[in-house]
Amino acid sequence: MLVCDRIVRRDPSPAAEGAVRLRVALLGYGQVGSAVARLAARSGAGPGAAVDIIGALVRSTASRSACCPLTTEAATLVESGPDVLVEALGGAEPARQIVLSALERGIPVVSANKTLIATHADELLAAAERGGTTLRYEAAVIAGVPFLGTLGRRPYAGACRRIEAVLNGTTNFILSELEAGAPDFATALADAQRRGYAEPNPAKDVSGADAAEKLVVLLRHLGGLNATVSDIPTSGIGGITRPDLVSARDFGGTLKPVAFADWSDGCATAFVGPAFVPATHPLSTLHGADNGIRVYSEHLPPVLFAGAGAGPDVTAATILDDVIEATEATSSANHSASRPAFASPDRRDRDCRPQAARRTSWFVRLESKDPLPAAEIADLFASYGVWVHRTTDWSRRTALPTTWLLTHPCAGTSAHAALSALSSATGCIASRWPSLESGR
């Protein structure tokens, strides 16, 4: 570890001299909006460009202090002609109406609002095209890691066919805590709330709804696939216990809150929920509140992007990068044809194969009044074509005698049939979660 005293620093950026100044209007002055204003003020002329916040839309200007003028009139803000409009309201309305009017006037818009993009991307991008401008939303998914814009503008890297991701920091933190020794879900959740990783009402994170919205954004952006949140089979992490994680480690892996989609064979398969992730898979190494995505493209071996998923300051930095990119992209809007992410009208894909065709390993938990002999479970499973790979028995650590097992890859219908038969025969309660393939 040596100092390189012959390495010389260059001028950090020419922006400081002939500085580009951008006039930015904010929709919303909550945690994210105010973080954008603070970061812009603190950054002065750099990095990149000087950003002047010319005003922010709020519900009420009473008893608010802010480092920019506040208004309750959206129209006034849009008509003041900002170089870029930053949408930090959250939710679909009134964000949608205001963003539409800005895009139609040719004002570039930057949004961190996954709900807005998941529900209205088509309409908004059509408006951007009419207005000859752009809509950017890098902070809507894994806010601290730039990858959406990169893959949108690079058609070879962006020719995705499968994504495996951890898109929610709250649930990753809770499962990491359970693995590290937290005794139960409630303790881990309380810890997440204490550290600011979980909202006072954590329902949207814990249920998987937050990750499902982000997956909808990714399906559209990376796959050109139209889905709604209700299309995504989603399960929450509420049922996961510390013994589940200990057993997963026994099997050489862990449980992670996964968002998965594969459309390599003309048929889209997707889910959001806890999944077994082998230790050889890079998502298994995302600890605490970290997020990450593994992108499988036609032309490149899998690429991993990982880092912080949320937080006001993280989101603000990504929004300001989008502001700078938005002003550059606008001047080359004529090239948008080469961006498959912003593609045109829908066409229903009819080559959709049934679920039975897709094979995966399953992580299974069986709770019963009396211990279940492993050999008998394996025999019953085998009669449904499901081969048990590994079994572990932690009955002494749980109230009911409990067995965990990991199957070899099999069709979901076979796993379902085998578990139903076992439940009928023994009265056991069976739970199952899918497994990702080894990452190697």
- Closest approach, Cβ 2 to its own copies, in A, equals 4
Q: Which is nearer to its own copies, 49 or 103 (CB)?
A: 49
How many CB atoms are closer than 10 A to CB 235?
16
Tell me the C-alpha distance between 71 and 27, whole Å: 10
- Closest approach, Cβ 154 to its own copies, in A, equals 4
Q: Which is nearer to its own copies, 131 or 340 (CB)?
A: 340
402 token code pair: 């409990």
Strand partners, 365: 404, 431
- Whether cis (ω within 30° of 0) applies to the bond prior to 354 is no
- Closest approach, Cβ 224 to its own copies, in A, equals 4
Q: Are 258 and 219 in contact (CB under 8 A)?
A: no
Instruction: Return the closest-CA partner of residue 241 out of 303, 321, 184.
Output: 184
- Closest approach, Cβ 437 to its own copies, in A, equals 12
- Closest approach, Cβ 197 to its own copies, in A, equals 13
Compute CA distances 1 → 4, 8, 9, 431, whole Å. Answer: 9, 18, 19, 51
Q: Which is nearer to its own copies, 304 or 378 (CB)?
A: 304
343 token code pair: 């593609």
- Closest approach, Cβ 277 to its own copies, in A, equals 12
Tokens 């070899």 correspond to what residue?
A: 408
| Catalytic-role residue among 114, 204, 214, 369 | 214
CA 317 to chain centre: 18
Q: Are 165 and 293 in contact (CB under 8 A)?
A: yes
Tokens 């230790």 correspond to what residue?
A: 279
Would residue 369 show up in a list of annotated catalytic residues for this protein?
no
- Closest approach, Cβ 176 to its own copies, in A, equals 10
Tell me the C-alpha distance between 342 and 152, whole Å: 8
Compute CA distances 185 → 119, 239, 243, whole Å. Answer: 31, 8, 11
- Closest approach, Cβ 220 to its own copies, in A, equals 8
Q: Which is nearer to its own copies, 327 or 402 (CB)?
A: 327
Tokens 């879900």 correspond to what residue?
A: 185
Q: Which is nearer to its own copies, 267 or 374 (CB)?
A: 267
Task: Compute the CA torsion angle 163, 308, 46, 335 (nearest 10 deg).
Answer: 10
- What secondary structure does DSSP assign to 53-111, as a single string? EEEEE-S--TT---SS-EES-HHHHHHT--SEEEE---SSTTHHHHHHHHHHTT--EEE
- What secondary structure does DSSP assign to 167-224, as a single string? --HHHHHHHHHHHHT-SSHHHHHHHHHHTTSS-SS-HHHHTSHHHHHHHHHHHHHHH-
Which of the residues are catalytic?
214
